[in-house]
A = this chain, B = another copy of it.
């Protein structure tokens, strides 16, 4: 995306479809797409069946690398051939979406996956058949191309919904504007969907760590209590399971600024799951873990042992239901939890407790217990962290 470099300076003047001169990452990504096209053309010219090989996105080709501590793809590939009735439609769709990516990059534009679907949907020439009947057809093609040319979706100029906010002692540059995240208003800096280095740069940072919470309502508790000032940290939340932009930003904060990432999540299977997505990546998007996952993120609470440890009252208990227990067992069986004694203790303890606890339940002691006692206690005692 040379978008920032080439567009923010010209601002409104630039027409919507004038190609911009590509440089940096955008040029690299565009080249990769051209490479795909060239190999197809070359095969055709040699009178061979045009084809490309796509890394297999299936559970069978996903593995957990305990050393890197992330979920990764294996080496299996599938061939997608033009002269094969069962593949011809997908072949056409792949080329079509790839050409749209190229166009977006050349024009310095981005699109949502929904816009991309509509943009690519039309009658196949001379027929009444549609190129795509549904977005369920175009989304997997987007992923196929991502993995084939090893480009993040964001590098292909595709954006998702933006979710999540950030506040703390960091100054970012976003689209050329310097933003002091201590002074971005009472909801903080809105984390966009695309946070690649050519859009967002880190300018100054005096934060010592990042505290990530699940929800905006919890985030606001910390923000209002000035936790980020007292503890010199960045506060983030993802409005539930963090969107791609937030995950990628956490990874960049960890890689480029060497900030530790601490997660404060509910003591329930959903909290564990959110943590594992931040830390190891997800099975669906295993091929992106290398650039999205934060393998050394720490889970600092709420832990199943905190009920006794913190002398909480039974007001905070929420009984586990059958779904919780089923989900907890599934999570225990994930390779990235399995065999980790501290996680087995944690999850088994939740099941023997028979209840789960929310971060917001800490308000039961008093409104600011969470921010002035509970989390400081957690931060001070590494033995309580789950890794």
A184 touching B190 by the CB < 8 A rule?
A: yes
Contact of A162 among B16, B109, B187, B315 (CB under 8 A): B187
A174 touching B162 by the CB < 8 A rule?
A: no
B190 touching A187 by the CB < 8 A rule?
A: yes
Residue of B nearest to A185 (CB): B174
- Residue-wise, chain A 208-242 has the 8 Å CB interface mask toward B (1 for contact) of 00000001110011001110011000000001000
| Bound Cα distance A202, B217 (Å) | 25
* With A11-B229, A112-B220, A189-B190: A364-B119 Cβ-Cβ less than 8 Å: yes
Is A151 positioned at the interface, with any CB of B under 8 Å from its CB?
no
Of A22-30, A175-183, A293-301, the segment with at least 4 beta carbons within 8 Å of chain B is A175-183
Contact of A109 among B159, B160, B367 (CB under 8 A): B367
Minimum CB–CB distance from A342 to chain B (whole Å) comes to 28
Residue of B nearest to A174 (CB): B185
Contact of A215 among B11, B17, B161 (CB under 8 A): B161
- The residues of B that contact A230 with a CB separation of less than 8 Å are 12
Q: A110-B220, A114-B358, A161-B239 are in contact. List 5 more A-B contacts (CB 8 A).
A: A12-B226, A112-B220, A115-B363, A119-B363, A161-B217
Q: Can you report 22 residue pairs joining A to B where beta carbons are below 8 Å apart? A: A12-B229, A16-B225, A16-B367, A104-B367, A110-B220, A111-B363, A114-B217, A114-B358, A115-B367, A118-B364, A119-B366, A161-B216, A161-B217, A165-B190, A175-B186, A177-B183, A179-B185, A185-B189, A185-B190, A186-B194, A186-B200, A189-B190
